[in-house]
Amino acid sequence: MGKILMLKHSDLPDNRADREAVALKKAEHNVFMICTGVKNKDSDDIYEKIFFVDRNGKVKFYLRKEVKKVAQKYQQVIDEIKPDIVHAHDIVTANVVRYLDKKNWFFVYDNHEV
């Protein structure tokens, strides 16, 4: 089936994202995650692979120069796994997507903050 790359600007576990990943895995999708860290090992069983990207502090992450640096790291992951869908779980990671090469994948943003 498809490859889905989830993006979070926080640590795992995250009940909402993890439940979605479990459902996608049951539907035979390969689910990957970019996040800032993992608080326990339970998430390791949910995702094919978890990639860690340092958020460089909350204030810096909103600066264009810093967002572009993070986007380069995200792009390396995208180039490696070649996802069909990139799914941002928060506005911060959705902002990073603006700077990515959007060839051959779809983007989904699910606003958890509202």
pLDDT of res. 56? 59
pLDDT of res. 48? 94
Which residues are bridge partners to 8 per DSSP?
Answer: none
CATH of the domain at 58: 3.40.50.20
- Residue 66 located in a structural domain: yes
DSSP letters for 24-78: HHHTT-EEEEEESEESSGGGGGTSSEEEE-----HHHHTSHHHHHHHHHHHHHHH
Q: Is the dihedral of CA 54, 62, 91, 5 positive or negative?
A: negative
- pLDDT higher than threshold 90 for residue 62: no
pTM for the full predicted model: 0.90
| Number of structural domains found in the chain | 1
Q: Which domain holds residue 17?
A: 3-109
- Residue 32 located in a structural domain: yes
What are the pLDDT digits (tens) for 41-61? 777 789 999 999 876 555 566
